[in-house]
Structure 1
Amino acid sequence: MRPFTSLFSKLPMRPITAVQNNAQNRYMDHEFCFLVDMEDQPIGTASKKFCHERKDNQRPPLHRAFSLFLYAPKNDPKGSSTNLSLLMQQRASSKLTYPNLWSNTCCSHPLSTVSGEDEQHDALGLRRASQRKILHELGIQPDRYLPLEHVHFLTRILYYAPNSDAADPRWAEHELDALLVSVLPDDPDRNPRSDWMRCNSDEVSATRWISRSDVDSLVRCDPPNPNSIHQWTLDSLTPWFRSLLTTGLLHRLWDWAEAYANLQSDFLRFQAENQRWDRARIHRLHCS
């Protein structure tokens, strides 16, 4: 790819059904991803299954993906100020890779079988794919909450991560992953009757907004606090999100999002923050 010019809602946990397993297997067989080289240049297409299966314990082929980070202003419980929080999702127990772990808002792939998702200019294909998947996974209407012009490409990561110990060892992630950021202008949960998000239980078990202080406590490895809004540890997170957190890239995404949210009042800050991002760079992460 060329350089691109309630705090908490939860679905009830339930056993994996044959229908759910069939849905995940159907996606594996019938969705086709873009194979890429180490510089993110497309070299072919392959089924999602081929892109994630560890045959003979080898790495699956490198393929294109995206990770979306959706922020919104939230009232700080420790004060009167309003800060941005990040929408997280817990992956469904029926997912073949990293079931039950927490990750950023939405992670998936542009597909060769979906019109327009092969467009590389200005990351259009990836941004369109993020609209399609946020509707599919979280039931969030992209026309209202995630218009294309509000989805911003910042950088890319390359990582390999075999499945978690508790999951099927046949599967792994080996992705060249575009990091996309969007900022909602208002808190969508402010209306108690809000139904702006309707999670697909085949994809998502729960959602939660987290603050920067929550992230800081994870980096410090603070012990779980029953008085906190969460009781996570680093092991609760997908390996790519954990690496973004521990390398500081997640905080840089947050810095950009906060500068963007205050664009009208402090354009110079946003300009400086935006210039820190090299859109041509590919960060190589070591996931464990």
Structure 2
Amino acid sequence: MSTGLQAATKLEEKVVLVDINDRQIGVAEKLQAHRDGLLHRAFSVFVLNSQGQLLLQKRAQHKYHSGGLWTNTCCSHPRHEETTVLAAHRRLQEEMGFDCELREIFSFVYHAQLDNDLTEHEFDHVFVGYSDREPILNPEEAEDWKWIDLKILQADLLKNPQAYTYWLRDCCDRFITAIQ
């Protein structure tokens, strides 16, 4: 399948629409949900190594939004009738080429205007995992990766916020507090 066709197919995937309490109220095509700013279920995975460093990925430049920005280890949306934790494991394998034990540590709702006239409005479930494995990137999803010390990340988020995704900037401090 060509890259363009893969991207079009992924944008036609459905996301789970939810209310402010994360109760499902419907489904919508992913791109339409992002065009209309509809609240939908999502997840963010943060993988730490044995030195306490966070694995970041740089989103592929051709992604439909936030391309070329650094973000947490992986993030996406569960499919209709897929649990959030199973979706997190699936996407960690699909994006980064490995899996590890994950546990949910908190959730939050955010609303942000993005590039390409899109809006993120997500009920985001945040998972943490631990691994020392080096990722095997899926080039459709990510173009680079690095391990980073959490204090260095916090400082760089303040100094260079434009280099990072909105959701990472929004939840990084909460993530650090939750794991301490």
Percent identical pairs in the alignment equals: 29
Residue number among 46, 69, 92 corresponding to 2:60 in the alignment: 92
Q: Structure 1: which 4+ aligned runs deviate by more than 6 Å?
A: none
Q: TM-score, normalised by structure 2?
A: 0.92
TM alignment of 1:200-279, pairs within 5 A = 200-218=138-156, 221=159, 233-245=160-172, 248-255=173-180
Match of 1:44, SS state, is: strand
2:104: which partner in 1?
153
Contact 2:114/2:120, CA 8 A, preserved across alignment = yes
Provide the C-alpha distance between the structure 1 equivalents of 2:3 and 2:67, rounded to a whole number of angstroms: 13
Letter of the structure 1 residue corresponding to residue 141 of structure 2? E
Q: Which runs of 5+ in 2 are unaligned?
A: none
TM-score (norm 1): 0.59
* Contact 1:33-1:63 within 8 A present in 2 as well: yes
Q: Within 1, Cα distance between the matches of 2:158 and 2:114?
A: 25
Gaps in structure 1 of 5+ consecutive residues:
1-17, 55-59, 74-82, 118-124, 190-196, 222-232, 256-288
The residue identity in structure 2 corresponding to 1:139 is: G
CA contact (8 A) 1:20 1:94 kept: no
Q: Find the aligned partners of 1:44 and 1:220 in 2 and give their Cα distance.
A: 37
User: 1:217 and 1:162 mapped to 2: Cα distance?
Assistant: 23
- Counterpart mapping for 1:122-137 below 5 A: 125-137=83-95
CA contact (8 A) 1:84 1:211 kept: yes
Q: Classify the secondary structure of the residue corresponding to 1:137.
A: helix
Deviation at 1:253, TM superposition (A): 3.5
Partners in 2 of 1:160 and 1:220 — Cα distance?
20
Shift of 1:220: 5.4
Distance in 2 between residues matched to 1:106 and 1:86, nearest whole Å: 11
Matched residues, number: 180
Q: 2 CA distance for matches of 1:99 and 1:178?
A: 22
Q: Assess if the C-alpha contact under 8 Å between 1:69 and 1:182 holds in 2.
A: yes
Match of 1:180 among 127, 130, 134: 127
Q: Which has the larger share of strand?
A: 2
SS in 1 for 2:53: strand
Q: Which has the larger radius of gyration?
A: 1
| Backbone CA RMSD of aligned residues | 1.8
